[in-house]
Amino acid sequence: MVENFFFVGLPYVALLLFIGGSAYRAFTGLKSRFRAKWDWTAYGDFLWTTRSTGFFGRASIGPATLCLHWGLVILVTAHILGFLGGGLNSPSLVEFFRWVGMLGGILLFYGTSWAFVRRLVKPQLRAMSTWEDYLVLLFLIVISGLGLYTSAVQLIFGLSYGVGPWLYSLFTLKPDPTLVRNFPLLAKLHLIVNFVFFAYFPFTKLVHMLSYPFRYVTRPYISMRSYVALKR
């Protein structure tokens, strides 16, 4: 019963909320009074976009931001290829997932951990931060931490040979939780926390990843100058 809940029911609920929640929030402005029309855009909704914190401690946030964002990109890419490799029984793709995914996990864990600590130690950031800012970072820290501990400390590899077919069974509406039944406890927790995070994702500031028009992603950098430079 518990196994069916976590590895059959939870993935479907997470997928439904991830897709449906993102669309509903984008088109209706669930968290903003500025949206009054059906318009998937990044403009006019400050709760859809991220709140910039680059004005405070720019020297420290630079490396953390790069590691966080590139860590996410690398991890998502590595996971997709790794799960495909597990489903197609491709050792080369699974091996790629093993090493590249570990690199992405290290980058993400460092970036999110430093961003979390920064919000705690910078008075200005504590004043402007909400509980959601901390919760999102904690989710990413736990997810990356569990994945790294499983792969780098416990040295458990090759789980994608089970996850790949299991995900395929979910998408074909023939879920088979027995494919992940014998996974280590921390690996199961890694999967569960990921799906809980996917369900929560549409209601966080991370939805800016889905923004259209894509100019939001490639927009020019914000030009910031020090007070000394302005005096000149």
Contact yes or no for 137/114 (Cβ under 8 A): no
Q: Give 204's pLDDT tier (boundaries 50, 70, 90).
A: confident
Average of pLDDT values for 20-31?
Answer: 67
CATH superfamily, with its number, for domain 2-25+61-204: Transmembrane di-heme cytochromes, Chain C (1.20.950.20)
Least confident of 22-26, 180-184, 219-223: 219-223
| Residues 12, 181: Cα–Cα separation, whole Å | 18
DSSP E strand stretches across the chain: none
DSSP states along 52-81? P-TTS-HHHHHHHHHHHHHHHHHHHHHHHH
Cα end-to-end span (Å), the chain: 69
Q: Record the pTM.
A: 0.80
What pLDDT score does 195 carry?
96
Give 142's Cβ-side CA count (13 Å radius): 16
Query: 112, 68 in Cβ contact below 8 A?
Result: yes
d(CA 197, CA 199): 5
Residue 215 has pLDDT above 90, yes or no: no
* Separation in Å, CA 94 to CA 53, 135, 181: 37, 31, 20
Q: Hey, is 88 helix, strand or coil? A: helix
Q: What is the mean pLDDT of residues 154-175?
A: 90
User: Which pLDDT does position 16 carry in this prediction?
Assistant: 94
Span 34-39, average pLDDT: 48
Say how far apart CA 199 and CA 19 lie, in whole Å: 9
Contact 148, 166 (CB under 8 A): no
User: pLDDT band at residue 232, thresholds of 50, 70 and 90?
Assistant: low
pLDDT at 93 (0 to 100): 93
Distance (Å, whole) CA 17 – CA 20: 5
pLDDT category, 28, cuts 50, 70, 90? low
What lies within 8 Å, CB to CB, of 56 at 6+ separation is: 122, 124, 125
Q: Are 6 and 188 in contact (CB under 8 A)?
A: yes
44 pLDDT band, cuts 50/70/90, is very low
The tens digit of pLDDT for each residue in 71-80 reads: 999 999 999 9
